[in-house]
Structure 1
Amino acid sequence: MDKKHLAIAVAAAFYGSQAVAVELYNEGDTTFSVGGHVSVGLGGSEQGETEVQQVSPRININATQDIGNGYTADAKGEWALNYLEGGEETFTTRLGYIGVSHNANGRGVVGTQWSPYYDGAGIADLPIAFANDFLYDDQGPLGTARAERMISYRNSLNLNDAGVVSFGLGWQGTTTGETWNGANAEYDDRVQIALNYSIMGVGLNYAYNTGDVQVGAFDETARSHMLSANYGIYGDGLYVAVVYAMNDYMNQGLEESVAIEGLLAYALPSSLNLSVNYESVEDDKNSNTIFSQMALQAEYNFTPTFVGFGGYQFDLGNDIDEPEDDKWIIGMRYYL
């Protein structure tokens, strides 16, 4: 595994969209840091009230240790914060895993983590205010974003001037206690594979995700073929990303569906990042739009750790008689 891309993989595993972390300990071959962010905003919609909202705040701890023979172990725990309401749900688990990386032998991870499928499907899931919904809303047990109890492996091959080829594999065992359209569901073994080719700032991705879902007499195989492409670095000049997923039983209640996400962003030298994104989910079997929306957004880095953001999301309508609901928010994010 190329050292540069190994470093990128470890950094992404540690920090995700987090910009910074405070290193509390660095002695010999061991490091320990704390990170996360507090994010709040004032938001509302046509169908809802204007109120103070939290925007995916979190806190995490991260550690690394050189374990010899070119291998580095790392561990991460991350918890979502519910600081507006508190109570028993003040902290809920987002991530928790142990990983081992080697420059040539790749990286293996065990625990709750960002999945190989998300490596390609999440390339448009970047703006603070409004981003990807279909990966989270009802596909959580299928590991399309954060994947619980997963074993994964990633590696890459540097082709020098011809670019870099990377791949990822993921497995989750049988899971019970989940719900599907409000009913108790059981998910059998789930597997996924992800492929990436990168050259000159362009990335091309393919991922396949599959597993059986059982709800009473309902027993079907959920599967997804995902294609995506991106160019540039989000927050540094021009960034473009497109995600296209062809699904069977991935979206709850839909036998066949197509999900689309697109993002166009441009960051000015003044640290102002402007973007427009589009997302939709179609019931492909019945030719119905489940939802479609577009958002205009802006983010401004006052400092590397303090970001202001705002966005307005237009509801572009649907074919299932759900009322349209434009949304807006303006807020701030402080990175720990």
Structure 2
Amino acid sequence: MNKKLIALAIAGATMATTAHAAELYNNGDSTFSVGGHLSLSVAGSDEGDVGVTSNSPRINMEATHNLGAGYTMDVKGEWATNLLNGGEQAFTTRLGYMGITHDVYGRAVAGTQWAPYYDVAGVADMPIAFANDFIYENHGNLGTGRAEAMLSYRNSFDFGDAGAFNLGLALQGRNDDTSKGGEFNDAGDYVETTSGAKYGNRAQIALGYDIMDFGLGYAYNTGDFTEAGSSTSKTAESHVLSAKYGSYGNGLYVAGVYAKNENMQEYTNYSRGGFPTVADGTIEDANSYEFLVAYALSNSLNLSVNYEGVEDAAASKTVYSQSAIQAEYNFTPKFVGFAGYQIDLGNDYDSEKDNKWNIGARYYL
């Protein structure tokens, strides 16, 4: 694993914000940088009111240290920032990990981090306004996006003109994510409720192959969990395939993702898209798709079209389907304007369609 691939691995793990980070300290063996971005937009929909919203703003700090003998240690903390309201929820943790990387032996990371699964599944999760939703169904516990309390290992094997093979492995230990709450019923009695689930050991493997501008990936993710109030254990399992061409923001970029998920997705938690409540619990057998085509012009205008759909395979019904037309423009390397219009293509549970739009700006620190 050469130093160029090591650098790419570290940059990939920080999800692009490092490219805009300000390096505050560098003595040759140690570095310290601060980065992130702040985003605000005006958004609305056919069925909702127009309002000011934010698009995943965050602040992060990262440090690296050369340990010698080919080893480099890095630590990172990243916090989501609430730009619209103050109080106790002004900052919430997005990432927090410690990693160690070797030129030959690869990279190990412990903490809350982007999972190896996301290396494969996230290739179409690129536009600012509207992007992939199904990845983020309980992604912290099931390790499909930013995985909590994860131990991971990655390595890349460079074969020169023949391409590079990428390997990722990860584990998450047992975790009780249940919480108690309650509400008053019609009779005025307070009824205590328990939500969440207890998770057993979870594991995943991610494989990828890159040659020239093409990339292929496959990931497998599995683990057992028990829903609150139940004594029956379920197995969450996902097989995901992806393919991509090019580099997002540089000419033509095409990406596609297909996931076959069992008990990985929830009917009621489409938090980024605001989809209608269908039923409680997880989808026993779901097919999920995401496609993206983008083209960045020489003047920094990046145009894209994406499609996403989720099907309940057991019921032969569409949970949701949507497509978005989007544009992003780099006024400067640090200041980006964006606009998107998402078309609701309908589902088999709710006849109401709700098209959405979003116009805003992002400033990279």
Residue 297 of structure 1 aligns with which residue? Answer: 326
Map of 1:223-238 to 2, 5 A cutoff?
223-238=237-252
Cα distance, 1:28 vs structure 2: 2.7
CA contact (8 A) 1:163 1:199 kept: yes
Residue 201 of structure 2 aligns with which residue? Answer: 189
Residue 307 of structure 1 aligns with which residue? Answer: 336
Bigger share in strand: 1
Map of 1:1-336 to 2, 5 A cutoff?
1-17=1-17, 19-178=19-178, 183-215=195-227, 216-252=230-266, 253-321=282-350, 323-336=352-365
CA contact (8 A) 1:41 1:55 kept: yes
Cα distance, 1:15 vs structure 2: 4.3
Cα distance, 1:122 vs structure 2: 0.4
Q: Give TM-score, length-normalised by structure 1.
A: 0.97
Q: 1:325 & 1:138 partners in 2: Cα distance?
A: 24
Cα distance, 1:138 vs structure 2: 3.4
Structure-2 change in CA distance of 1:196 and 1:93 (3 Å)? same
What letter is aligned with 1:212?
D
Structure-2 change in CA distance of 1:17 and 1:277 (3 Å)? farther
Q: Give TM-score, length-normalised by structure 2.
A: 0.89
CA contact (8 A) 1:14 1:62 kept: no
Q: 1:199 & 1:137 partners in 2: Cα distance?
A: 31
What letter is aligned with 2:45?
S
Moved more, 313-322 or 91-100: 313-322
Deviations 1:99-133 (A, max 9, x none): 00011000000000000000010001110000011
Structure-2 change in CA distance of 1:15 and 1:134 (3 Å)? closer
> Runs of 4 or more off by more than 2 Å in structure 1?
14-19, 137-140
Structure-2 change in CA distance of 1:195 and 1:46 (3 Å)? same
Cα distance, 1:11 vs structure 2: 1.1
CA contact (8 A) 2:177 2:199 kept: no
Identity %: 59
From the CA coordinates, give the structure whose radius of gyration is larger. 2
Deviations 1:133-179 (A, max 9, x none): 11113343101000000000000111112110010001000111247
Deviations 1:223-260 (A, max 9, x none): 00000000000000000000000011111221100110
Structure-2 change in CA distance of 1:15 and 1:25 (3 Å)? farther
Q: 2:258 & 2:15 partners in 1: Cα distance?
A: 25
Deviations 1:207-226 (A, max 9, x none): 00000011212311110000
Please give the secondary structure, in 2, of the residue aligned with 1:87: coil
What letter is aligned with 1:241?
A
Cα distance, 1:18 vs structure 2: 5.5
- Segments of 5+ residues of structure 1 without an aligned counterpart are none
Cα distance, 1:322 vs structure 2: 5.8
Cα distance, 1:325 vs structure 2: 1.1
Moved more, 247-256 or 307-316: 247-256
CA contact (8 A) 1:118 1:144 kept: yes
What letter is aligned with 2:32?
F
Aligned length: 335
Q: 2:238 & 2:325 partners in 1: Cα distance?
A: 28
What letter is aligned with 1:12?
G
CA contact (8 A) 1:18 1:335 kept: no
What letter is aligned with 1:242?
G
- Segments of 5+ residues of structure 2 without an aligned counterpart are 180-193, 267-281
> Cα RMSD (Å) of the superposition?
1.4
Q: 2:138 & 2:67 partners in 1: Cα distance?
A: 39
Please give the secondary structure, in 1, of the residue aligned with 2:196: strand
Cα distance, 1:16 vs structure 2: 3.0
CA contact (8 A) 2:322 2:342 kept: yes
Structure-2 change in CA distance of 1:319 and 1:214 (3 Å)? same
CA contact (8 A) 2:17 2:35 kept: no
CA contact (8 A) 2:325 2:340 kept: yes
